[in-house]
Structure 1
Amino acid sequence: MRALLLAAGMGTRLRPITDTIPKCLVPIHGKPLLDYWLESLFSGNAIERAVINTHYLASVVEDHVALSPWRSRIDLVFEPELLGTGGTLVANRERLGEGPVLVAHADNLTDFDVAGFAAFHAARPATAAMSMLAFRTDAPRTCGILELDGQGLVQAFHEKVENPPGNLANAAVYIVEPEMIDFAAKLGKPFVDLSTEVIPHFIGRIAVMETPGYHRDIGNPESLARAHAEFRPGEGA
């Protein structure tokens, strides 16, 4: 399986840190966030190769990846104009191969089990076109909260609502089948948002795996501070 790491964001809520450091390279315990991702993806056999899209401070990301022990398994793709999560998938479909693709927002700090997620997807219900990682959030009003049926398939999303029905949240880590990339391509436009324009079409066909490990969006100073206080590398699932 191949992976798409979305790393092009500007990280405006983390300024002034991100004035000179791309969000994907913000350090946690002295280690850039992207390095946690690369180690997680490539330390096992689940992911053979990854595409990383860049935009903001792209040269800084390029220089960092050039020194990575995983550099021979990484394809960097610069986006002069952002394409959105779905648009990036479509634009890189040849690089990503013909099978399922793991798609992840590289601005989250997580220690989920990549191989376990791949195995979960392989054993998903036959009707499911996507597997979604989920986590228990301590701030449900700021997340996309999921409602599942008895098979663990998504029946509804509650995106950043005042009184969400629970705390099981979308972790923005997916394994998508080619059918979903085909759907995004048929929209016929360069910018496509996966979460608003593609995923809603597949409600009832998204299998959910909950991670028991650590997961946090480090997109604002408070979350970044909490990640430094809470995260202990190697103690997750």
Structure 2
Amino acid sequence: MRALLLAAGIGSRLRPLTDTMPKCLVRVHDKPLLDYWLGLVFEGGIERVLLNTHWLAEQVRQHVANSPWRSRIDLVHEDELLGTGGTVLANRDWFQNEAFLVAHADNLTDFDVPGLIAAHNRRPKGHVMTMLGFQTDDPSSCGILELNAQNTVVAFHEKVKKPPGNLANGAVYIFEPDVMVDIAGVGRAFVDLSTEIIPNYIGRILCVETNGYHRDIGNLESLRRAHSEFKQKPHQERVVAGLS
């Protein structure tokens, strides 16, 4: 399976750090966020990764050139940001008409990559998407999910003031190629997955909740909390609920 790591964001809420550093290279415990992701997905069985770049792209290119994973990483530059779905669509040939993983690489996480893939492979009939879920301590800032007894997403509440619960969209997905048709159907280059595509699949999305660490480090307070909370181990056990 191939994976798109969305890494082109400007990171305006992390200024002044991101005035001179791309968001994906912000450090937690003196390790760039992107390196956590590359280790996680490649060690988890992903064959090849695509990174999109935009802000301070040359720093990302140089970092990838020095990565031990460099031979398995492709880069694509966006002069203008295409949105999460737009990036998927612009690179549709790269996915080779097979199921693929998409992740917002501005989260710090240790979810079970093989477990998520296994869950997708045994997803209920008619489901074309698997989504990572996590318990958030700030539900009003997230997309909150409602599930049925089969862990199918039956409702999605995107950043509302009083959402019905704490189970949030972890912004990690496995898509079947069918989803590409829906993205193309929007009819323009800029497409947002969370608002324009994912709601179309309510009732056909499997949610897999991680028991591991998962935090959006999109602002300075979240980054501070990640430094104090995240305890990486050399061979850290990664557990996905119901898949251990």
Smaller-chain TM-score bracket = over 0.9
Q: Distance in 1 between matches of 2:141 and 2:34?
A: 23
The correspondence of residues 103-142 of structure 1 with structure 2, limited to 5 A, is 103-142=102-141
Q: CA deviation at 1:172?
A: 0.3
Q: Distance in 2 between matches of 1:163 and 1:119?
A: 33
1:165 maps onto 2:172 in alignment: no
1:15 maps onto 2:15 in alignment: yes
Q: Distance in 1 between matches of 2:237 and 2:9?
A: 26
The correspondence of residues 72-83 of structure 1 with structure 2, limited to 5 A, is 72-83=71-82
SS in 1 for 2:187: coil
Q: TM-score, normalised by structure 2?
A: 0.95
Q: CA deviation at 1:128?
A: 0.7
The correspondence of residues 35-50 of structure 1 with structure 2, limited to 5 A, is 35-44=35-44, 46-50=45-49
SS in 2 for 1:155: strand
Contact 1:14 1:221 in 2 (8 A): yes
SS in 1 for 2:50: strand
Contact 1:112 1:236 in 2 (8 A): no
1:194 maps onto 2:193 in alignment: yes
Q: Over aligned residue pairs, what C-alpha RMSD do you find?
A: 0.9
Q: Distance in 1 between matches of 2:161 and 2:151?
A: 24
The correspondence of residues 48-63 of structure 1 with structure 2, limited to 5 A, is 48-63=47-62
Unaligned stretches of 5+ in structure 1? none
The correspondence of residues 154-233 of structure 1 with structure 2, limited to 5 A, is 154-233=153-232
Unaligned stretches of 5+ in structure 2? 239-244
Q: CA deviation at 1:236?
A: 5.2
Q: CA deviation at 1:150?
A: 1.5
Q: Distance in 1 between matches of 2:195 and 2:160?
A: 15
Q: Distance in 2 between matches of 1:197 and 1:159?
A: 12
- Of 157-166 and 60-69, the range deviating more from structure 2: 157-166
Q: Distance in 2 between matches of 1:187 and 1:159?
A: 20
Equivalent pairs counted in the alignment come to: 236
1:4 maps onto 2:12 in alignment: no
SS in 1 for 2:126: coil
SS in 2 for 1:94: helix
Q: Distance in 2 between matches of 1:43 and 1:236?
A: 12
Q: Deviations over 1:121-165 (max 9, x none)?
A: 001101111000000011111111100112111111112222211
Contact 1:109 1:218 in 2 (8 A): yes
* Counterpart amino acid of residue 9 in structure 2: G
Q: Deviations over 1:179-229 (max 9, x none)?
A: 111110122211111111111111110000000000000000100000000
* Counterpart amino acid of residue 208 in structure 1: C
Q: Distance in 2 between matches of 1:141 and 1:87?
A: 26
The correspondence of residues 87-98 of structure 1 with structure 2, limited to 5 A, is 87-98=86-97
Q: Distance in 1 between matches of 2:163 and 2:190?
A: 29
Q: Distance in 2 between matches of 1:37 and 1:231?
A: 14
Q: TM-score, normalised by structure 1?
A: 0.98
Q: Distance in 1 between matches of 2:42 and 2:124?
A: 27
Residue identity over aligned pairs, in percent, reads 64
Contact 1:103 1:173 in 2 (8 A): yes
SS in 2 for 1:171: strand
SS in 2 for 1:151: coil
Q: Distance in 1 between matches of 2:158 and 2:174?
A: 20
Q: CA deviation at 1:54?
A: 0.4
* Counterpart amino acid of residue 76 in structure 1: L
The runs of 4+ residues in structure 1 deviating greater than 6 Å are none
